[in-house]
Amino acid sequence: MQSLYDFNYEQIQDLAKSYGWKGFRGHQIFQWLYRNRVNSIDEMSNLSKETREILKQDFIVSPLHLVRKQVSHDGTTKYLFALEDGALVESVMMLFDYGKSICVTTQVGCNMGCAFCASGLTKKKRNLTSGEMVAQFLYVQKELDKTQDRLSHIVVMGTGEPFDNYENVMNFLSTVNHDRGLGIGSRHITISTCGIVPRIYDFANEHTQYNLAISLHAPNNELRDQLMPVNHAYPLEELMKALDYYCQENNRRLTFEYILLKGVNDSTNQAHQLAKLLRGYNAYVNLIPYNAVDEKGFKGVTHQEAMVFYDTLMKDGIRCTIRKEHGNDIDAACGQLRIKELKRGQN
Ligand code: SAH
């Protein structure tokens, strides 16, 4: 059954009107879902019993069921959820000094096939609906409600390629961003893409204030072709051209993500090459410690080695940070908890 979370603020008013109700009913439903954060239609007590019965015939509230939860010593919490059709997805809640952030999954499996990533170990089965993404956020927020705490940030960096599920991702973000509901500020939302060029143009044209992060991981086409099959379709020249357009249309700083893989993309030469590629952009590089994936055979670098790469970039005038590791004691790499559960099911 369809979830009420699938509808953003405007759509839920249209939905109300489609039943012959006033748009205001839609506003009330939205408030129940996102301000009061009810778990059922029955709790929407200022709607008449008749209205609630009609809604219950066609809609549910949340399409998620918790399967497993792991809490790390640093507070990072990983959730494994089953969707209505039994498909498994993961979400991660991370603690930062600026607040709490949730990493949201956008697809069941992933078709991008990045050589180092666990998510691509199973092909994409389907896109998540926007309601299934909203539900990940709300599940975690409802847990935090118990201690009057809140999620302040969203990173769209879980399993899946958000720009391969563009409409639903944008719909999800418009719901969580809406100031009559959860009101997560645009600048606290980051979408990460492996570089689906046509969608970067679409995104640039939307003029949202969401942050854009690009998974780069290689400073030249030869290596990027090997690590990220998407580079065959959209090589670096095309990617950078799309990003030029994005920067021209949006006065926003870009993030480039770069996982340091030992002996693969971590040489000083490659750091110089990367600096050359990114010179002139209003951007910074986020150097990511690699979460080893058993099946993939890549190795991460030590902190010292990461610092050498970092220093080279900084000396070349490129701003960068080394991402802090979160929850490395709890199957932290993207998609690992799900893969483990799928294997458990096979045995
Ligand atoms: N498909 C999107 C978003 C999901 S992946 C994208 O490619 O950006 C989110 C980030 O995690 C990407 O930068 C991805 O390359 C990175 N990532 C994937 N596997 C990882 C691993 N094992 N360790 C560290 N980062 C990983």
| Structural domain boundaries enclosing 171 | 64-346
> What's the domain count of the chain?
2
Local confidence band at 345 (pLDDT 50, 70, 90 cut-offs): low
- Report, as an integer, the average pLDDT of 230-247: 98
Q: Which residues are annotated as a binding site for S-adenosyl-L-methionine?
A: 160-161, 192, 215-217, 291
Local confidence band at 335 (pLDDT 50, 70, 90 cut-offs): low
Tell me: do 126 and 244 sit in the same domain.
yes
Task: Dump pLDDT digits (tens) for 167-181.
Answer: 999 999 999 999 998
Tell me: do 112 and 52 sit in the same domain.
no
CA–CA separation, 39 and 35 (whole Å)? 12
Q: Which of 38, 60, 82 lies at the terminal end of a domain, its last residue?
A: 60
pLDDT given at position 223: 98
Tell me: do 74 and 219 sit in the same domain.
yes
pLDDT given at position 94: 95
CATH of the domain at 333: 3.20.20.70
pLDDT given at position 303: 93
Give percent above pLDDT 90 in the chain: 87
pLDDT given at position 186: 97
Tell me: do 242 and 127 sit in the same domain.
yes
- Report, as an integer, the average pLDDT of 297-305: 94
CA–CA separation, 170 and 184 (whole Å)? 14
CA–CA separation, 260 and 216 (whole Å)? 11
Site to substitute for ligand 1 among 92, 111, 156, 157, most atoms within 8 A of C-beta: 157
Residue 136, both tokens: 């990940």
pLDDT over threshold 70, residue 333: no
Q: Does the predicted model carry a pTM greater than 0.85?
A: yes
Q: Any alpha helices (H) in the chain, and if so which ranges?
A: 9-18, 23-34, 49-58, 130-145, 166-177, 197-206, 221-227, 230-233, 236-249, 268-278, 303-315, 336-346
Burial code (b: 16+ CB inside 10 Å, e: under 16) for 4-26 equals bbbbbbebbbebbeeeebeeebb
Cα of 334 from ligand 1 centre, angstroms: 7
Q: Which of 41, 60, 79 lies at the terminal end of a domain, its last residue?
A: 60
Does 192 contact ligand 1 (Cβ within 6 A)? Answer: yes
Tell me: do 210 and 315 sit in the same domain.
yes
pLDDT over threshold 80, residue 26: yes
pLDDT given at position 334: 58
Tell me: do 213 and 254 sit in the same domain.
yes
Higher local confidence (pLDDT), 225 or 23: 225
- Report, as an integer, the average pLDDT of 322-327: 82
Tell me: do 206 and 322 sit in the same domain.
yes
Task: Dump pLDDT digits (tens) for 59-112.
Answer: 999 989 999 999 999 999 999 999 999 999 999 999 999 999 999 999 999 999
Q: Which of 60, 81, 109 lies at the terminal end of a domain, its last residue?
A: 60
